[in-house]
C-alpha cells in the first residue's frame, strides 16, 4: 500500500490537484482491489468523514481518465475499480460469489494486443475475463473417497 506522500505524488504526476476526496478514494482503491463504488464510498467516508456519492463518482472518473485507476465491469457485475494499471493483466471471476482476482497475461507480454484482423482499429488494450468457481465456492469433495484408488 502506498503512503499518503506516494499517493500525493501519483496525483501530482498525473497533473491532478491533491484534494482530500481524491486521496481518500485513491487510498480506498489501493486498499480494496476490485471494489464496487458502494464499497469505495464507505471506505472513503471512513477515512475523511462525510463525502457525497457524487463526489466519489466524480473522483473515480477523474482517476480513471488520468490512468491512476482502472475500471472493470465483468458481464453481469457492477463497475469495479483497481489500482493495478499500466500492464495488460486479466481477471478471473467466480460465477457463484462474484470474487475477482488478477491473472497475469499467459505469455508474460501483451500478445493479445495483436489481433488477427483489426478492422482498421488502433488497438491499445485487450480484455480477457476467465470465469469459474473460486475455492471458497467449490463443492467440498470427500477426500477419503478421492484417495481410495491411491491406497
Pairing of strands 80-82, 100-103: unpaired
Q: Give me the CATH number covering residue 96.
A: 3.30.1490
In angstroms, the CA 118 to CA 58 distance is: 33
Looking at the fold, whether 51 and 97 belong to one and the same domain comes out as: no
Backbone angles phi, psi at 109, to 5 degrees: -125, -160
Residue 21, domain extent:
4-72
pTM: 0.80
pLDDT tens by residue, the chain, 151 residues: 899 999 999 999 999 999 999 999 999 999 999 999 999 999 999 999 999 999 999 999 999 999 999 999 998 889 999 999 988 788 999 999 999 999 887 665 555 667 778 788 887 777 788 899 999 998 753 433 343 433 3
Q: Please report where in the chains the cell 490537484 appears, as a residue.
A: 17
Q: Is 67 left (phi over 0), alpha (psi -120 to 50) or beta?
A: left
Contact 21, 44 (CB under 8 A): yes
Domains: count for the chain: 2
Amino acid at each position: 500500500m502506498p503512503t499518503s506522500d506516494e499517493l500525493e505524488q501519483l496525483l501530482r504526476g498525473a497533473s491532478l490537484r491533491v484534494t482530500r476526496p481524491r486521496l481518500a478514494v485513491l487510498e480506498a482503491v489501493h486498499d480494496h482491489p476490485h471494489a464496487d463504488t458502494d464499497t469505495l464510498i464507505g471506505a472513503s467516508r471512513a477515512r475523511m468523514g462525510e463525502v457525497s456519492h457524487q463526489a466519489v463518482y466524480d473522483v473515480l472518473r477523474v482517476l480513471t481518465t488520468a490512468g491512476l485507476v482502472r475500471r472493470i465491469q465483468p458481464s453481469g457485475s457492477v463497475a469495479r475499480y483497481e489500482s493495478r494499471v499500466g500492464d495488460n493483466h486479466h481477471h478471473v471471476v467466480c460465477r457463484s460469489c462474484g470474487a475477482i482476482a488478477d491473472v497475469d497475461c499467459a505469455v508474460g507480454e501483451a500478445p493479445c494486443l495483436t489481433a488477427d484482423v483489426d478492422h482498421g482499429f488502433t488497438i491499445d488494450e485487450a480484455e480477457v475475463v476467465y470465469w469459474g468457481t473460486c475455492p471458497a465456492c467449490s463443492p467440498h469433495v470427500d477426500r477419503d473417497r478421492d484417495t481410495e484408488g491411491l491406497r
